[in-house]
Structure 1
Amino acid sequence: MATLDKPLPYVGMKPVQVITAIVILIVGYIVAKIVVASFKRGLKKTKLPELVVEFLGRFLSALLYVAVILLAVRALGIAVGSVVLGLSAVIGLILGFGMQDTLTNLAAGVWIAALRPIDIGEVVEVAGKTGKVNSVGIMSTELLTPDNVLITVPNKLVWGSVITNYTRMPIRRVDVDVGVAYGTDLNRAIKIAVELMKNHPKVLDDPEPGVVITALADSSINLQLRAWTKTEDYWAVKGDLTKGIYESYMKEGIEIPFPQMDVHVKEMPQ
């Protein structure tokens, strides 16, 4: 016991203090995990969105870890007040060197969690990046792309940019563009396209599907098939209609022209 009370060389701390600090860190980490897990379970029983629950859980976790570290420092015999004062000075120095982005990201994270322009599991486009929302932390937002690439976007960029949410609404309109040759019976071409959409099991009857003429282009008359479907069926319907309109027009003898250019060569007189 006398050995534990003898200060260690160079550091001036007793072994018992170091052991106590290590125990506090380990136990504190475990207790913090348990408290945060219980806190999140309790919030999930309420009507709070998952995004808000996750954000509050991370915020509480950060506070508990700071408290555990301060307790460990106190066990080492260091005045906590001086540590807090030192941390405040460091934070002030960081802010003085232009690191205000940390607080900006934190504030943006609070607004995102409160107003929920995006939510976990939704497919969105923010700051020029598109993907499924994987998580929203106190500092950044994670997006998972369709090819399984994880993108981390600072919250200030999420909150400060235009947000396009592709899956928030329950239904979406599927647009499929197709061109037909000049001289085509447009009424017949439109009728075939409408029948194709109405016969698709995942195309909704209300709103009713339709076809519009979008342009008289250089090589074709451009049509656009417009069909409404449930958001989760969007890509399946788009693929089916794109394939289906091509096969239907080929079967009915309606030409889908490809871009072409006529080149006239004029001979110069000798």
Structure 2
Amino acid sequence: MMDIDKPLPYVGITPMQIITAMVVLVVGFIVAKIIVASFKKGLQKTKLPGLVIEFFARFLSALLYVAVILLAVKALGVSVGSVVLGLSAVIGLILGFGMQDTLTNLAAGVWLAALRPFDKGDFVTVAGQTGKVEAVGVMSTELLTPDNVLITIPNKLVWGSVITNYTKMPTRRVSIDVGVAYGTDLDKAIKVAMDIMKSHPKVLKDPEPAVVITGLGDSAINLQLRAWAKIEDYGTVKGDLTKAIYEAYMREGIEIPFPQMGVHIKEMPR
């Protein structure tokens, strides 16, 4: 029968120490999850935005996991001080080889959580990627695209790029471009478009909707319908108005011309 208090050959660690370390890891991770969940629940009762709460929760989680690992190492009979010293040496070596991105990402995450150019749930374009903000972690930011793809972007790229936030403001202008044929009665075309926008229940009265002539194209006079809607109604209003203006112009006999290209063939003399 194995003596669990007898050190194993070559490693100098007893089976009891291994069992204790495993118990510390399992129990420690469970306790850490409970602490983080309680911490997160407590912060949710405050007025802090979800993005900041998520950042703090992930930061605390990382610290607790490191503490649990150190306790497990101590349970194996290894000096925690030597482990910390070894980790410091490794970190110093990594930084010496130019891998200071970790600290850069951490600092960028702190700035993102503090200044909040976007909140959790906002729809943004950042670092060339577009999606809904899922979370800002200690090292990276997560975006969920409209087709349900999760994108993870290092915080330093997020902080160092132009951020376009489509849902930060309570309202947004819906712009719909449509072309009408040359010779069209523009007053009639504009009136039809205005009637459509004014009759839509989700188009705001203030600011008032408008129709502007944006240019004279190669085969059409370009009009733009401009209507304001609440941010949550933006997609619905854009889809409804696009469909409605097409159907109304077809019904009223207002031509929406196809793009045209003239091709001249010159016969070469024989």
TM-superposed deviation, 1:5: 2.2
2: distance between equivalents of 1:174 and 1:37? 40
TM-superposed deviation, 1:261: 2.1
1:233 aligns with 2:233: yes
What is the match of residue 169 of structure 2? 169
- Structure 1: gaps of 5 or more residues: none
What is the match of residue 95 of structure 1? 95
2: distance between equivalents of 1:268 and 1:6? 101
What is the match of residue 59 of structure 2? 59
TM-superposed deviation, 1:266: 4.1
What is the match of residue 26 of structure 2? 26
Deviations 1:100-152 (A, max 9, x none): 11111111111111111111111000001000111111111111111111111
1: distance between equivalents of 2:121 and 2:2? 59
1: distance between equivalents of 2:239 and 2:21? 61
TM-superposed deviation, 1:185: 1.1
1: distance between equivalents of 2:114 and 2:132? 19
RMSD (Å), alpha carbons: 1.5
1: distance between equivalents of 2:82 and 2:33? 27
2: distance between equivalents of 1:269 and 1:15? 99
What is the match of residue 41 of structure 1? 41
| Amino acid aligned to 1:204 | L
TM-superposed deviation, 1:77: 1.3
2: distance between equivalents of 1:152 and 1:265? 54
TM-superposed deviation, 1:176: 0.4
Deviations 1:188-242 (A, max 9, x none): 1111110110011111110000000000111111000000011111111111111
1:80 aligns with 2:80: yes
- Spell out the pairing of 1:121-140 with structure 2 (5 A cutoff): 121-140=121-140
What is the match of residue 143 of structure 1? 143
What is the match of residue 104 of structure 1? 104
The count of residues paired between Structure 1 and Structure 2 equals 270
C-alpha change, 1:192 and 1:95, in structure 2 (3 Å) is same
Identity, in percent, stands at 79
Normalising by structure 1, we get a TM-score of 0.96
- Structure 2: gaps of 5 or more residues: none
Normalising by structure 2, we get a TM-score of 0.96
1: distance between equivalents of 2:150 and 2:24? 35
